[in-house]
Amino acid sequence: MLFSRYLLPVMKETPADAQIVSHQLMLRAGLVRQTAAGIYAWLPLGLRVLNRIADLVRREQDRAGAIELLMPTIQSADLWRQSGRYDAYGPEMLRFQDRGGREMLYGPTNEEMITSIFRDCVRSYRDLPRTLYHIQWKFRDEVRPRFGVMRGREFLMKDAYSFDLDAEGGRASYDAQFTAYLRTFAALGLRAVPVRAPTGPIGGDLSHEFHILADTGESEVFYDSALDAVDLADADAPAMLRGLYAMEAEEHAKVENCPVPPERLASRRGIEVGHIFFFGTKYSHAMGLQVQAKDGTQVTPLMGSYGVGVSRLVGAIIEASHDAGGIVWPDSVAPFDVGLINLRPDDALCATAAAEAEARLEAAGLSVLHDDRDARGGEKFATMDLIGLPWQIIIGPKAAAAGLVELKRRATGERHEVSLDDAMARLKGPRAA
């Protein structure tokens, strides 16, 4: 992709209305534009990141056995009357009427809709267990939308819903999502801590929020510092993490005998990027979902729901990975793999070398943003650091004459003058890993 033909409005100045670093960097790096309070347009570069995150979330959902479908954003109020939540939900729900005066709403979540779909499609125990998910926009009229996409009004969520015949099955479905979440966040280059959340009347340990520990987080989390030592890549990580104590401050305050010795109790701020919840028959009972059991009786399936804040993750990843120069994207979600900087587009040798490098990188399956603009070198370097592509390949007249390029790793600032072949070999290495 040629920079000169792309839509990438970068800003030098820090926008005054953005309080936290991820919001500032998302605006400065041309990822999003606010179009109304808490509502954002995803510009081309931002959309590439959002899509990559959604793809990784999808990959881990599929691996965990969940099945993708797509439910609409607009729902009918009648559906929500069946569960009793239409009146209970409050002003966060955006309500309106269609031309026929029918009451509609923009979905803040989809428990009612998935329950009605399941009720229409499934009759027999043979069709259970199932976990279904979609990745779809939600609207919640938040009192205080803030921090850019972290607390927007319109936001992208992955929400999954499990249906089981008994509590044991429900726990297994919950555990599969728990593990999928740890894998998802690790694949995104994040360290997410599962925090026990209140379960209401069901009790037990079947609700967790997943938090990224960062100073700008909206919640305070108390946790057993033994958590810091758990290697999330370890196959036993889910079991180890389930056993360790972590709780939001508000809940922690209600715990009378904290099981963690004081010297091991740590506290940090956290960004909630996921929430999983087993709620039993709450919606299936209210909405009359029943299936025939093996013995011919009718049973009410047990359900859970599992959310990931896909658009919030873009901000959370930046909070966790940036430096003074700008964003430092993890390889797995970067909008392009390589930023190719031609320092002298007016020089025939440089132009040829840059075009060849772009073509060969793309042929090797790498995505490239090629800065071919007629601009000063300093500006190009600053822009490339700001937008945070993991690798930079810099082409200038001296190196080009010697058949070399400069390869820079964004995260470390390390630079090497190498041949294009060597550069490509290094680039392929970490991606393949």
- The binding site for ligand ATP (CB under 6 A) comprises 109, 140, 142, 151-152, 155, 157, 272-275, 307, 309, 311-312
Q: Which positions ≥6 away from 373 have C-beta within 8 Å? A: 3, 4, 345, 380
Cβ proximity to ligand ATP: between 107 and 307 the closer is 307
Cβ proximity to ligand ATP: between 55 and 250 the closer is 250
Cβ proximity to ligand ATP: between 219 and 367 the closer is 219
Q: How far is the CB of 97 from ligand ATP (least distance, A)?
A: 24
Q: How far is the CB of 157 from ligand ATP (least distance, A)?
A: 5
Cβ proximity to ligand ATP: between 122 and 157 the closer is 157
Alpha carbon 401 to chain centroid, angstroms: 43
Cβ proximity to ligand ATP: between 3 and 42 the closer is 42
Q: How far is the CB of 115 from ligand ATP (least distance, A)?
A: 16
Residue, CB closest to ligand ATP = 309
Q: Two tokens at 60?
A: 């881990």
Among candidate residues 363, 370, 365, the one with its CA nearest the CA of residue 384: 370
> For residues 139 and 155, what is the distance between their CA atoms, to the nearest angstrom?
7
- Pairing mode of beta strands 192-196, 405-409: unpaired
Q: How far is the CB of 31 from ligand ATP (least distance, A)?
A: 15
Cβ proximity to ligand ATP: between 108 and 238 the closer is 108
Burial 229-255 (b: 16+ CB within 10 A, else e): ebebeeeebbeebeebbbbbeeebeee
Q: Is 424 exposed, middle or buried (0-12, 13-18, 19+ CB in 10 A)?
A: buried
Q: How far is the CB of 14 from ligand ATP (least distance, A)?
A: 22
> For residues 219 and 213, what is the distance between their CA atoms, to the nearest angstrom?
10
310 and 152 in contact (C-beta within 8 Å)? no
Residue 182: φ, ψ to 5°: -60, -40
Q: How far is the CB of 275 from ligand ATP (least distance, A)?
A: 3
Q: How far is the CB of 324 from ligand ATP (least distance, A)?
A: 27
192 and 309 in contact (C-beta within 8 Å)? no
> For residues 218 and 269, what is the distance between their CA atoms, to the nearest angstrom?
7
> For residues 78 and 141, what is the distance between their CA atoms, to the nearest angstrom?
20
Q: How far is the CB of 205 from ligand ATP (least distance, A)?
A: 17
Cβ proximity to ligand ATP: between 38 and 396 the closer is 38
Q: Which H or E run contains 51?
A: helix 44-63
Cβ proximity to ligand ATP: between 112 and 372 the closer is 112
Cβ proximity to ligand ATP: between 312 and 410 the closer is 312
Q: How far is the CB of 316 from ligand ATP (least distance, A)?
A: 8
Alpha-helical runs (H) found in 146-228? 167-187
Cβ proximity to ligand ATP: between 312 and 408 the closer is 312
> For residues 57 and 73, what is the distance between their CA atoms, to the nearest angstrom?
20
Burial 164-173 (b: 16+ CB within 10 A, else e): bbeeebbbeb
- Pairing mode of beta strands 67-68, 130-139: parallel
Q: How far is the CB of 62 from ligand ATP (least distance, A)?
A: 19
Cβ proximity to ligand ATP: between 163 and 185 the closer is 185
The angle formed by the CA atoms of residues 433, 182 and 390, to the nearest 5 degrees, is: 40
Q: Two tokens at 431?
A: 């991606």
